[in-house]
Structure 1
Amino acid sequence: MAAQRSTRIRRRQQRSERHTAPEQTLSIRHSRARRAGLAIRRLVLGISIAGVLALGNTVPSVAPVGPAAEGDAFYAAPADIGEYRPGEVIRSRPVPAAGFAGSTAWQLAFRSTNSRNEPIAAVTTLLLPAGDVPDRPLVSYQPFVNSLGTDCAPSHSLFDGTMREAGALNLLLTQGWAVAVPDHLGPDSAYGAAQLGGRITLDGIRAVRQFAPADLEDSPVALVGYSGGGLATGFAAALAPQYTPELPIAGAAAGGVPMNLGRLANDLGARSNQLFGLGFAAAIGLEREYPEQISLDRVLNPAGLALRDRIDDACMDEIVDVAAGLSTAEVFTTPPADDPAAAPILRDNSLETFAGVPTAPLYLWHGTADMISAEPVQQVAARYCAAGVPVQLDLIAGADHSAAILPGAMRTLDYLAGRFAGTPPPENC
């Protein structure tokens, strides 16, 4: 693990050297300072304009660039990946459970399916609390990865100290529950491809339940996630009745969910926004997952092409820092939601417009002061309620995206305990 971590650090340093312009002397670490955001914006625009001037009046067409290749062979798909069943374990390994005292940790590579219905290899990390308890409850926890580099995936961040949500996992483990943490963005780190995240989440649960050393074959299952992780959680719940009807999903909890990607893009990009990079990164992730339908070359201006190249292998903090203060008009010639080719993809990856409906009880929470609008969350909850799904929706008064995390997470513990105990689910439909 130490050698692999050194390789990832060296790769990130090389990426930084490749992307950093000589004249860039300001620090981009203070992303919330307006001065830094404006300086970064001028830098990105300046590099792009200089490139255009050097080429005359031609704007280069730049092919989309994926993340740096994962150097660990554990993640690789075997040549016969198509012969594996969805959720079938390809290989497994024990890993040190640093930060999770008393727990045992495993990583499983398994077969899943991407949005083009092609077989892929995906990875989940399984944490088992102390004690030999067969068929203990299993929680699949989807973190908010919000990144474009494979070295930002949970299977790495869980153990290198960069996952902000690690403490929440310990809360689940202290309940005696097993916890699976999938790399739900997939092998190409396709951030924004929410249906893919749902499939990988469900196939990861299949893999864990058939993994003999874990003894979870008949375990009841719950799904949990916040923000981008909540989006993967929501899609897993909505896909499960058709995709994994055999899984005994007792309930799901998701908070701060961007239920409509097109609306999110508009909310983050209509004007200068410190979090603009997250919406922009989602466009890159969707381009990776749907290369035949989405080509950002058609809709990015020179500044946008430069920005895409700058963050093509970046983790969340870097993405936010580099694009702080930008807006859609500064990097796009056509907003993604207005692109005829992209619009259907945005709809297919938005829970508000996805036809699938969960059958498991659902707990949703959202801050009323969240930059991500609560209105689509209310619309989704109403539609699920009309279909007979028990939904409990909590709107956290006055809470923004960050402040809503803790109160909803604490309520989630009680909610999941009730679902595993088989008590009637609360609802306010």
Structure 2
Amino acid sequence: MRRLSIVALATASAGLGHLAPAVAAPIYPVPDGDGFYSAPPDVGNFQPGDVMRSRPVAANGFPGATAWQLLYRSTNSGDAPIAAMTTLLLPPGGGMNRPIVSYQPFVNSLGLQCAPSHSIFDGTMQEAPALNALLARGWAVAVPDHLGPTSAYGAARLGGRLTLDGIRAVKRFGPADLGGSVVGMAGYSGGGMATGFAAALAPEYAPELPIVGAAQGGVPMNIGKLAQDVGLQRSPLFGLGFAAAIGLEREYPAELEMDRILNPTGFALRSQIANACTNDIINAGANKSFNDVFYGAMDADPTVVRILHENSIEIYPGVPRTPIYEWHGANDQVSPQLVRDVLGRYCSQGVRVQLDLIPGADHGTAMIPGAINAFNYLGDRFAGIPAPSNC
């Protein structure tokens, strides 16, 4: 049997080893008080990407833009129908088949109030002002809640599905007039992971979408290996790894049971951050390690390995058909070598890949310079300029 450390097990929320006395069950977020988010009873009668509900909203922070929110049908990791949300911003003049950028924010949260459909307008989404630069180019911008209806942070393959179905939704939404639009995708960190998964899933999951380029930065290519980096030793970012374990438990409730491996400190931390946004998660888990919240080392079973593989781009066998721009800090805590490995595999199968390693930059400082290049990259793809490659 393949052995994994407690770190990887924790990331996958494995149900093995020491049995804690509590009843095994995920802690789901407090439901959103806005009934618009609720799935209709007949959600299963819709096709992935079908718009089930829509509403115009005030475009706070986006002068001149028109904003809509769309509730659409998607599919979770167990292949069950779910309701998902995307926020659509249209520049002055409306849609008229102008290019669409699906932008996946770097949301690292467990509470539904942290979702992009809320944070984009309430001032808590750090990158929201930058989206005005996309609107100024005349592009439509779609911002999906890519953690899904249970805020399943860490479930990266789900994020890819939600991204692709969100693109389908905005293209099918008649009032936006985007049915003939070409599409680009962009995102950083966790948003980059959703973007990367969407690119890799698209040939099989949504082959009809005219995706002409994907720009992704700071991408964690393997969630188990990243967990080792932030959990084997005490880390200021430990809370994010622990939150990913909670999110995976939510997404795979029949298979992963954190109750079986949490110690009393772990139970308390899970309860503390179950509805928290990024900063509170980081503060609550700062300078802890997996040994502080889980019982000792265990063996992993094939279910754990499978779920880790399903949510790690490094392991996922799918290869994008669209050109890729990837930027990453040369000194990033998220492994640059794994990025090189994945892109090398893509290159070997004919994908046009441009890798930009930013000298001296870490995970935080690489975002802005790479994002500027990313938007220019998408602009060139929209203009039909052949994609560069430095494979």
TM superposition score normalised by structure 1: 0.85
Aligned structure 1 segments of 4 or more residues deviating by more than 4 angstroms = 334-340
Are 1:337 and 1:343, in contact at CA under 8 Å, matched by a contact in 2?
no
> Deviations 1:359-392 (Å, cap 9, x if unpaired)?
0000001101111111111110000001100010
* Matching residue of 2:353: 391
* Matching residue of 1:420: 382
Are 1:115 and 1:196, in contact at CA under 8 Å, matched by a contact in 2?
yes
* Matching residue of 2:92: 130
**How far off its partner does 1:336 sit?**
9.1
CA gap 1:249/1:167 in 2 versus in 1, 3 angstroms: same
**How far off its partner does 1:343 sit?**
2.4
| 2:207 partner amino acid | P
Alignment partner of 2:312 out of 350, 361, 364 = 350
Are 1:337 and 1:346, in contact at CA under 8 Å, matched by a contact in 2?
no
Alignment partner of 1:225 out of 162, 187, 193 = 187
**How far off its partner does 1:132 sit?**
4.0
* Matching residue of 1:365: 327
Alignment partner of 1:97 out of 32, 47, 59 = 59
State the SS of the aligned residue for 1:358.
coil
* Bigger relative contact order, structure 1 or 2 (CA pairs below 8 A, ≥6 apart): 2
TM superposition score normalised by structure 2: 0.93
Are 1:336 and 1:343, in contact at CA under 8 Å, matched by a contact in 2?
no
> Deviations 1:122-157 (Å, cap 9, x if unpaired)?
000000000145100000000011000111000000
Give the paired residue count. Answer: 373
RMSD: 1.5
**How far off its partner does 1:213 sit?**
1.0
Are 1:300 and 1:334, in contact at CA under 8 Å, matched by a contact in 2?
no
CA gap 1:126/1:298 in 2 versus in 1, 3 angstroms: same
1:180 aligns with 2:148: no
**How far off its partner does 1:340 sit?**
5.1
* Matching residue of 2:74: 112
Identity of aligned residues (%): 62
CA gap 1:227/1:147 in 2 versus in 1, 3 angstroms: same
Are 2:20 and 2:260, in contact at CA under 8 Å, matched by a contact in 1?
no
State the SS of the aligned residue for 1:342.
helix
* Bigger radius of gyration among the two: 1
CA gap 1:368/1:58 in 2 versus in 1, 3 angstroms: closer
**How far off its partner does 1:410 sit?**
0.7
Q: Show the 5 A alignment for 1:267-286.
A: 267-286=229-248
| 1:377 partner amino acid | V
* Matching residue of 1:379: 341
Structure 2: distance between partners of 1:233 and 1:281: 20
* Matching residue of 2:362: 400
Residue ranges of structure 1 left out of the alignment (5+ in a row): 1-56
> Deviations 1:229-265 (Å, cap 9, x if unpaired)?
0000001100100111110000000000000000010
Are 2:24 and 2:260, in contact at CA under 8 Å, matched by a contact in 1?
no
